[in-house]
């Protein structure tokens, strides 16, 4: 296993949920972590708690120029990124496609697809040059199993899955790894964001069941990243025990 204390880890969406838990998990093992996110107050609080090995980075991954500037301006002690965790992403709305809000669709594409490829393109060439690195993309079971209202969100996560496999093909011979982690139901701010701050509606999603936690997924990310360097987990799908696959739906006359 790789010693995490030797790593520099760049985590997007680090101000809450899986991203924050991932930052904490790697810091616990002695890694240096670049915690990137949009909410600067939360980043500062996280860095104050985790100490000097946590570098807070205010960043909107949808802004390509800002991503490139951030990647090119990292302090010397943090510039040789070993692991990029593309975690920033969201679902917005649960409307059926004919009635869905185009701004919601655009936000999901800009964040889940464009933001992910901006960060990857900004950091990947340096990994290739060093012959060392790992891109961990956070996808979703929604990229494989469709559900009503999951239209564009599921499509963006299907992109993440296929993009990760494409990276694996392109990186052959460069000693750089690529992994897609695909969680099922995780109790974070995910539903609160999807339902635009409607706490009652969001809380009902998790009522009466034990969903995965952000810490569970952080543990999975840490696991795949610290496996021996010759081991590449291509795709890892994980659900809570209480979640499974839905039967086919039918519209009967």
Question: DSSP characters for 177-235?
Answer: EEEEEEE--B-SSHHHHHTTT-HHHHHHHTTTS--B-HHHHHHHHHHHHHS-TT----E
Q: What domains are there in the chain, each with its CATH number?
A: 4-238 (3.40.50.720)
Average pLDDT of span 21-35? 98
Please, what is the average pLDDT of the chain?
A: 97
Tell me if residue 147 is catalytic: no
- Determine the pLDDT at residue 147: 95
**Least confident among 24-33, 212-221, 240-249:** 240-249
Please give the angle made by the CA atoms of 25, 203 and 93, to the nearest 5 degrees: 90
pLDDT bin (cut points 50, 70, 90) of residue 8 is very high
User: What tens digit of pLDDT does each residue of 81-129 get?
Assistant: 999 999 999 999 999 999 999 999 999 999 999 999 999 999 999 999 9
Average pLDDT of span 34-54? 97
Exposure b/e, 105-135, CB count within 10 A at least 16 = b: bebbbbbbbbbbbbbbebbbebbeeeebbbb
Catalytic residue selected from 118, 145, 147, 153: 153
- Determine the pLDDT at residue 26: 98
Q: Measured between alpha carbons, how far is 200 from 228 in angstroms, rounded to an integer?
A: 44
Let me know how long the chain is: 253
Residue 231 has pLDDT above 90, yes or no: yes
- Determine the pLDDT at residue 16: 96
To which H or E segment does residue 54 belong?
strand 54-58
- Determine the pLDDT at residue 247: 87
Average pLDDT of span 173-184? 98
């Amino acid at each position: 296993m790789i010693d995490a204390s030797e790593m520099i880890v760049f985590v997007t969406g680090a101000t809450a949920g899986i991203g924050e838990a991932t930052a904490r998990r790697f810091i616990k093992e002695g890694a240096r972590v670049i915690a990137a996110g949009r909410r600067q107050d939360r980043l500062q609080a996280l860095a104050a708690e985790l100490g000097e090995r946590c570098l807070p980075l205010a960043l909107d991954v949808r802004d390509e120029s800002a991503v490139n500037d951030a990647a090119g301006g990292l302090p010397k002690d943090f510039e040789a990124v070993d692991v990029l965790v593309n975690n920033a992403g969201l679902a917005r709305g649960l409307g059926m496609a004919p009635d869905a809000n185009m701004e919601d669709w655009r936000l999901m594409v800009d964040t889940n697809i464009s933001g992910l490829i901006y960060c990857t393109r900004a950091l990947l060439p340096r990994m290739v040059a060093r012959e060392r690195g790992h891109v961990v993309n956070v996808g979703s079971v929604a990229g494989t199993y469709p559900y009503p209202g999951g239209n564009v969100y599921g499509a963006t996560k299907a992109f993440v899955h296929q993009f990760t496999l494409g990276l694996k093909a392109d990186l052959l011979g460069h000693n750089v790894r690529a992994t897609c982690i695909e969680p099922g139901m995780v109790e974070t701010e995910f539903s609160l964001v999807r339902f635009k701050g409607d706490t009652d509606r969001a809380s009902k999603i998790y009522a009466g069941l034990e969903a995965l936690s952000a810490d569970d997924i952080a543990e999975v990310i840490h696991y795949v990243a610290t496996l021996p360097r010759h081991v590449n987990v291509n795709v890892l799908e994980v659900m809570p025990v209480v979640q499974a696959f839905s039967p086919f739906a039918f519209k009967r006359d």
